[in-house]
Amino acid sequence: MSDVWQAPPADGPVEGRVEVPGSKSVTNRALLLAALSGGPATVTGAPASRDTALMTGALSALGVPVEIDGTRVAIGAHDGLHGGAVHCGLAGTVMRFVPPAATLATGDVVFDGDPRARERPMSVVLDALRGLGAEIDGSALPFTVHGTGGLPGGEVVVDASASSQFVSGLLLSGARFDKGLVVRHEGPPVPSLPHIEMTVDMLRTAGVAVEVDGPDTWRVAPGPITARDWVVEPDLSNAAVFLAAAAITGGRVTVAGWPAESTQPGTEILAVLEQAGATIEPGPDGMTVIGPDVLSPVDVDLHDASELTPTVAALAALADGTSRIRGVAHIRGHETDRLAALATEITALGGVAVETEDGLEIHPAPLRADPARPWRAYADHRMATAGALIGLAVPGVAVDDIGATAKTFPDFPAQWAALVG
């Protein structure tokens, strides 16, 4: 146990205003597009998180000039990418987004990551790149991309039912391929489609011509990527945890800077919290959630917002009735098998959480912390924050690795304690 942390219990309704770091998803897309543009460009509002550091480290390894000043990252002008060694950590946006760009490098690019990252599926994007003309050794981390300075491109068929990142990773570099790129998905529905919508929107903002043909086909025209200055909005999936704190405790929490419109899947937490009985109040200061007297059970399909599953599972474990989370079978391949992890940890507290084919069924039961067994995070930031949420209502809950939150929210423990206190 590397970083055991006592989750502070709430002794009454939690009330306050919080500011969360910028979106990791937006940041790492913006950083890669800035690098592929040839610079100079900036990304303002980038979270000082591990995932951001892994992406800037990857770009530096490929010869991109990177300067970091707090939450502002400057990408310097350069003449192209070269070979190097990329450490992906546990960042899906690095291991899935950077290999397509690495095919444009001159020289070999070696990829590796954390032990769990070596277990995460990679063959879809690597086989797709082979089909587009790339030479790659390996089908999972570690692997080597033999960059030749360019890629023919063209059309490729993939099964992206395990992760939308397979599609986004290909699209982000597609404009730099000689013939552009057409990606066709064949298989069960692609999860987290809002993340692909985010990718398409950002490509268009960078001057790239993108066509979307239904839910399964994307076309990227060949051409330059415009160097520009990006401003990152708050991470709404991280914000969801703080809003959920209001729902659990009957409190009132405002997240500052909540955008009026966003492609982030985290926006779906508002509908979930309303179903749980909370009141939603958007305003000029941000998004406010007012919790109910009794937390109602929820029945939700999170296929397009699966990153919210740990947060919603924590709510469900404390609700007055049976909750169902559906459409998230693919999160078995995330930072950890999140369905198995959530069922195990809720059960360890005396709860009743049963895995289904595509989600979880959680029944009401009294929860009690075991002093000899902390809530396990499984090196997964969202599992760690789920433990913090349950700890609001269950005194004595400890999280075995709160440091996992540094992946996207390095100051989470302090901000959480400040809000609860």
pLDDT, tens digit only, all 421 positions of the chain: 456 999 999 999 999 999 999 999 999 999 999 999 999 999 999 999 999 999 999 999 999 999 999 999 999 999 999 999 999 999 999 999 999 999 999 999 999 999 999 999 999 999 999 999 999 999 999 999 999 999 999 999 999 999 999 999 999 999 999 999 999 999 999 999 999 999 999 999 999 999 999 999 999 999 999 999 999 999 999 999 999 999 999 999 999 999 999 999 999 999 999 999 999 999 999 999 999 999 999 999 999 999 999 999 999 999 999 999 999 999 998 889 999 999 999 999 999 999 999 999 999 999 999 999 999 999 999 999 999 999 999 999 999 999 999 999 989 999 999 999 8
Let me know if 307 is a catalytic residue.
yes
Q: Extract the runs of DSSP E, i.e. beta strands, from 200-331.
A: 210-213, 217-220, 229-231, 252-255, 279-283, 286-290, 299-301, 323-326
CB 322, CB 282: distance < 8 Å: no
Q: Distance (Å, rounded) from C-alpha 45 to C-alpha 28?
A: 11
State yes or no: 283 annotated in a binding site. Answer: no
264 is in an annotated binding site: no
d(CA 222, CA 173): 10
pTM: 0.91
List, in sequence order, every residue forming a beta bridge with 111; answer none if it has no partner: 86, 143
Catalytic residue among 268, 307, 335, 345: 307
Is 25 annotated to bind ligand?
Answer: yes
Check whether 179 is labelled as a binding-site residue.
no
CA distance 108 to 145: 6
Pairwise CA distance, residues 34 & 59, whole Å: 10
Say how far apart CA 66 and CA 74 lie, in whole Å.
6
What is the reported pLDDT for 3? 67
pLDDT for the residue numbered 1? 40
Task: Confirm or deny that 120 is annotated as ligand binding.
Answer: yes
Q: Given this chain, do its domains 5-21+234-420 and 24-226 carry the same CATH topology?
A: yes
Q: In whole angstroms, what is the distance from residue 19 CA to residue 232 CA?
A: 13
Report the topology of domain 24-226: UDP-n-acetylglucosamine1-carboxyvinyl-transferase; Chain (3.65.10)
Q: Count the Cβ atoms, other than its own, within 10 Å of residue 223.
A: 12
Residue 89 and residue 97: Cα distance in Å, rounded?
A: 13
CATH topology of domain 5-21+234-420: UDP-n-acetylglucosamine1-carboxyvinyl-transferase; Chain (3.65.10)
Contact criterion met (CB below 8 Å) for 127 and 152: no
Look at residue 269 and give its three-state secondary structure.
Answer: helix
Each domain of the chain, given as residue ranges in start order, spans: 5-21+234-420, 24-226
Q: 192: annotated binding-site residue?
A: yes
Pairing between β-strand 15-18 and β-strand 359-363 as defined by DSSP bridges: unpaired
- Tell me, what's the pLDDT at 334? 87
- Tell me: is residue 146 an annotated ligand-binding position: no
**pLDDT confidence of residue 408:** 93
Q: Which residues pair with 389 in a beta bridge?
A: none
Element (H, E) at 390: helix 381-393
| 176 assigned ligand-binding residue | no
Identify the residue whose tokens are 């099964």.
159
Q: What is the dihedral of CA 51, 169, 360, 189, to 10 degrees?
A: 170
Cα–Cα distance, 231 to 133 (Å, whole number): 34
